[in-house]
Amino acid sequence: MFHLYFSKNETRPSSAEPSRLRKTLGQPELSGNISRASAMRDVKDIEIRELDMQEHVGGGGFSVVYRGYWKHTQVAIKKWVAPEITDEIYQEFREEAMTLGDLRHPNIVQVLGACNKVPDICLVTEYLPTNLYSLLHERTTPLDRPRIICLALDVARAFVYLHSLKPPVTHRDLKSKNLLLDRQWRVKLCDFGLATTTARTATGGTPAYMAPELLNGEGKPFNSKVDVFAFGILLNEMYSREIPFDGMAPGDVHAAIRNGERPSVQISCPMRLKNLIQLCWDADPEKRPDFEGIAIELKDMGAV
């Protein structure tokens, strides 16, 4: 859940609150890419003492994710940790909280509230027991083609919603580890730490899923079609059950994608599914379909 596993030796943040945060808390303007400060008012304020953190289940960057309880309800707690909670780190937390606070969709993880007092800043969401990466690569659960298409359609539905918003929300970190599964096999998208509503400079991502336009140097524009590229990589991963670019160093992955290399598509992959995969990961963003078209194509392949 939420990125790669993190060290159990948690680094505790400083208790000193940055001076600018004391000035900006509660003010209506933000300098970040998602400037919906009013949305923070829609995210329930939770006190850290209300949370019972259990085992660490994931994390990445400046955040660690725990399974825990809030008001006797099992939840996921994404806690930001660093030697010091800087203005930039706090802004990252606040933007993700605001983004999720605005989203309402059955295929997107539900935010329940947030602790916004430094140093104990964290995001509280519904808890789901596993993720798609675990299902694909750590288990032997059989996945036939209809099941794969149904799972993929859930992902597509989340992005039809995100990209239809005004302005559209680009997730920018679609991958199997950021897709959670409930006990009814419903997929829910999580981790909006890189989400943006503007075509600003790309400063992060997961190498194997990053579109070529995200790898062409700082300042290059991109749009929501980067999510479509990642979906193509994901769809092939779901069918092949192989980790994309497994074992390659990040720099080598970047070079391979820029040179037009893609993961191998299995010979047994149905032609219609193969065509969709290859359209999604086309080097030219204009040639990639949108998620509305992807959802229609998946339905036509037999999903219900």
pLDDT of residue 2 exceeding 70, the answer is: no
Outline which parts of the chain fall under CATH 1.10.510.10: 130-300
Q: Write down the CATH superfamily of domain 130-300.
A: Transferase(Phosphotransferase) domain 1 (1.10.510.10)
22-47 average pLDDT score:
48
pLDDT for 217: 65
Could you name the CATH architecture of 19-126? 2-Layer Sandwich (3.30)
Active-site residue (options: 45, 144, 154, 173): 173
Of 193, 252, 191, 197, the closest CA to residue 222 belongs to: 197
Residues 229/124, Cβ–Cβ less than 8 Å: no
Does the pLDDT of residue 83 top 80, yes or no? no
Contact 198, 122 (CB under 8 A): no
- The CB density around residue 67, as the number of other CB atoms within 10 Å, is 18
Give ranges for CATH 3.30.200.20 in the chain: 19-126
Cα 42 off chain centre by: 21
Mean pLDDT of the chain, nearest integer: 84
Confidence of residue 40 (pLDDT cuts 50, 70, 90): low
Q: Mention every residue, 6+ apart, whose C-beta is less than 8 A from residue 63.
A: 2, 3, 78, 79, 80, 81, 193
3-class DSSP state for residue 14? coil
Q: Is 173 a catalytic residue?
A: yes
Biggest distance spanned by C-alpha atoms of the chain: 59
Query: What is residue 199's predicted lDDT score, i.e. its pLDDT?
Result: 61
pLDDT tens digits for range 43-63: 889 999 999 999 988 777 778
In one-letter notation, the amino acid at residue 120 is D
